[in-house]
Structure 1
């Protein structure tokens, strides 16, 4: 039993107290989000090319004519046949329709170093309609510190230097802004910084049992759960 059993009157008193805390947290979060409105941006000088379903595409092309671009750096490397379970969990939590983002002058795209054929195969397996391109022929992943290989670029992740022998793909999210023909990098976040886009976690946070991470190995690909797991496991 996760919580104390109380009367309806005691519950209502506790709920009103929690409501005050919720409102304070919401106001604090609104104030924090305002810092992004005038956060510094950096002009991009390098050109990047990607492989997409319609052929070669530049970073500018990925904007699809809009002002803002959100890139999720998905961990699917050249030698991988399936995506990372954590990144796949993110993929399951991204909007099923991008129309709402698009009407706010914003495009969303996934980027991985795997060749396009592997991306398309895994995307089909997961049943996603999210735009997804390959950065296999550019420095994009290395420049934004989600592919680590000291022989190619200095290894850094989440704004800290990594050991030179650390290699491989890492998750992240980067935001870009376009003003005419000029492109700018406004923000990148990694690791626990991605938690805010995980709706599943937020929903679980509202429940008595919470995220239930203790004793678990983490999330699976959504087509790998057993029927018992999908029923909730233990009763």
Structure 2
């Protein structure tokens, strides 16, 4: 560390008994939040569903119906990756978010699958996936109204949708976007238990805590490609 860089502030240092008491107070709130999230998940499981038209998407091996994207599973999670035509690097947030998912086989035990869908043409989408070392299965909705119909139009933002199928009939059961996707990642939940947190100006932190502009510490698409790509 440069001698010109001030040392970061430290938490108050206390005896073990005081620390345990403060931790116990925090744990009451943490456990209450866990129960609240359980209740929210219970409400999510009781949401009604919307029947979907018979969309056609484009996959690595050609066109296929939305119901075929499920594979053998009955439930499907779709991450809608932002896409900018002719851009060398696509959305850093989307690229970083989806780079976290390298072990998806565990979903099979829950009769579910998780895939990426983007508005980019399939050849360009797959080339970008390989460039950044992404391990997920990608599909294109460039020639389908599917993305626009579920809150992820061309030129729009990212989103997550969840679907359920009954035979050949597909239902939309849940949707989120913006910060609603954070709960699905592992990065920010890990960062949020660190003493300094995300170190972004918007966060409520003690005086002297290191803080900077939002997104400053996020890996961008070239960083992801350098770390994980090209896909082999």
Using the size of structure 2 for normalisation, the TM-score is 0.82
1:17 aligns with 2:25: yes
Distance 1:27 1:112 in 2: 35
Confirm or deny: 8 A CA contact 1:119 1:134 kept in the other structure. Answer: yes
Confirm or deny: 8 A CA contact 1:70 1:176 kept in the other structure. Answer: yes
1:177 aligns with 2:174: no
Please, which runs of 5 or more residues in structure 1 have no aligned partner? Answer: 149-167, 228-235
Confirm or deny: 8 A CA contact 2:89 2:222 kept in the other structure. Answer: no
Aligned to 1:66: 73
- Pairwise CA distance, 1:223: 4.1
Relative to structure 2, which stretch is displaced further, 205-214 or 170-179? 205-214
Aligned residue-pair number: 205
Please, which runs of 5 or more residues in structure 2 have no aligned partner? Answer: 1-8, 202-211, 227-232
Aligned to 1:112: 118
- Pairwise CA distance, 1:222: 5.5
Aligned to 2:86: 79
Distance 2:27 2:139 in 1: 43
Aligned to 1:34: 42
Aligned to 2:184: 197
SS of 1:174's equivalent? strand
Distance 1:59 1:2 in 2: 52
Once the two structures are superposed, what CA deviation does each residue of 1:183-232 show, in whole Å capped at 9, x if it has no partner? Answer: 1011111111112112111111101100112323512325438x9xxxxx
Relative to structure 2, which stretch is displaced further, 171-180 or 14-23? 14-23
Extract structure 1 runs of 4+ deviating beyond 6 A: none
Aligned to 1:101: 107
Confirm or deny: 8 A CA contact 2:90 2:221 kept in the other structure. Answer: no
Distance 1:114 1:24 in 2: 42
- Pairwise CA distance, 1:96: 1.3
Distance 2:214 2:23 in 1: 33
Change (3 A) 1:35 1:134: same
1:123 aligns with 2:129: yes
Q: CA RMSD in A?
A: 1.8
SS of 2:189's equivalent? helix
Relative to structure 2, which stretch is displaced further, 130-139 or 48-57? 48-57
SS of 1:224's equivalent? helix
Change (3 A) 1:2 1:59: farther
Once the two structures are superposed, what CA deviation does each residue of 1:67-101 show, in whole Å capped at 9, x if it has no partner? Answer: 101000000233333220111121123x3111111
Relative to structure 2, which stretch is displaced further, 73-82 or 195-204? 73-82
